[in-house]
Structure 1
Amino acid sequence: MSSSTEFTPLGMAVLTVSDTRDESNDSSGQYLAGALADEGHRLVAKQIVKDDIYQIRATVSAWIADADIEVVVITGGTGFSGRDSTPEAVSVLFDKVIEGFGEVFRAVSLTEIGSSTIQSRAVAGLANNTVIFCMPGSTGACKTAWQQVIRDQLDSRHRPCNFVGVLKVRANTVT
């Protein structure tokens, strides 16, 4: 798993899970789409779905089957309220779980929101050579996740390792 000295842009999709958001007020999805573009990645797809296990799973399943999408970032549906179901919808699709994402996200969030971070069910995993990050729906949480964890892991120049190296090695071994 080697790291490149040149930036490797990735094809990315942004999914907002919400019963109340639309394109006019989806500040978290808009932030993530802008942040990934600012870093040089390609926004391949962006969608908003209701907090429904099957709608979430159907969208993510289609995206992990799309060879142009290497990364899916999901905002929303990771809390404990009645309809929050993103982890349940997505986790069953994972070939491998990235335990460290939720652990590091909560550790970083502890300094920002205190013990309320224990209510975050942020999860991540690999599915069909696609890395998937699920984070809370607040724009602040998305900024924390992107700036403190995800951005570097999607930068081929980041040392000592990053997910670009993993994705490229896995892509070359999948026939």
Structure 2
Amino acid sequence: MSRIDDTKKFVPIRIAVLTVSDNRSLADDKSGQVLVDRIAAAGHTVADRQILPDERDQIAAQLRAWSEMAEVDAIVSTGGTGLTGRDVTVEAHRDVYEKEIDAFGTIFTIVSMQKIGTSAVQSRATAGVANGTYLFALPGSPGACKDAWDEILLKQFDYRHRPCNFVEIMPRLDEHLRRK
């Protein structure tokens, strides 16, 4: 069972937040703000925040740029994970991933099922790794962002979380790039 090991010191990470929307601005970006507020409350740093339209190439370019920055440890996007023709965030993420974190979507679906029942089937939440950086694509609703953060990311971004967490393996995410 998961738990926090209080003998270990908390290690803050730097997280960039990307909202994908054709019509939101910072003033009305509730989902992005949910993430920013939770990241800060958890003791992490918001490394950057952007809003981009539902354009696959633009999304992938921003993900690549952030994943190549030493100042960004993780990227969380919100929006564009549904089934409509303009929903291209998942495809943009997969254009960038070196490895997919397959279980993230499954766990997110389990969490969502408890809140919204079978409507969870419409989400295509995904996660992966690129350039030693974690990338997560969440649905565009504030509720989905709260659920993903509170039930999954808060714990996995806490170095003290046991039996394991994302932070403790961060130094090894790009070891294949350092091999000669």
Q: Would you say same fold, with TM above 0.5? A: yes
Distance in 1 of aligned mates of 2:31 and 2:103:
22
Which ranges in structure 1 are unaligned for 5 or more consecutive residues?
none
Please point out which of 114, 139, 148 is paired with 2:117: 114
Do structure 1's residue 40 and structure 2's residue 43 form an aligned pair?
Answer: yes
- CA drift of 1:93 comes to 1.1
Distance in 1 of aligned mates of 2:174 and 2:100:
18
Alignment of 1:121-132 (within 5 A): 121-132=124-135
Q: Secondary structure at the match of 1:13?
A: strand
Alignment of 1:42-121 (within 5 A): 42-121=45-124
Identity in percent:
45
Q: Secondary structure at the match of 2:69?
A: coil
Runs ≥4 in structure 1, deviation > 2 angstroms?
A: 168-175
Number of the residue aligned with 1:146: 149
Distance in 2 of aligned mates of 1:76 and 1:45:
17
Distance in 2 of aligned mates of 1:18 and 1:72:
16
- Aligned residue identity for 1:15: L
Please point out which of 94, 115, 137 is paired with 1:134: 137
Distance in 2 of aligned mates of 1:117 and 1:11:
29
- CA drift of 1:168 comes to 2.3
Distance in 1 of aligned mates of 2:80 and 2:120:
15
- CA drift of 1:15 comes to 0.2
- CA drift of 1:138 comes to 0.2
Number of the residue aligned with 1:170: 173
Distance in 2 of aligned mates of 1:38 and 1:18:
25
- CA drift of 1:34 comes to 1.0
C-alpha offsets along residues 83-136 of structure 1, whole Å, 9 cap, x if unaligned? 000010111211111011100000110111111111100000011100011110
Which ranges in structure 2 are unaligned for 5 or more consecutive residues?
none
Q: Secondary structure at the match of 2:23?
A: coil
Distance in 1 of aligned mates of 2:56 and 2:42:
31
TM superposition score normalised by structure 1: 0.95
Distance in 1 of aligned mates of 2:172 and 2:135:
17
- CA drift of 1:82 comes to 1.6
What RMSD in Å do the two structures reach over aligned CA positions?
1.5
Alignment of 1:18-29 (within 5 A): 18-29=21-32
Pair 1:80–1:173, CA change in 2 (3 A): closer
Distance in 2 of aligned mates of 1:170 and 1:52:
28
TM superposition score normalised by structure 2: 0.92
Q: Secondary structure at the match of 1:19?
A: coil
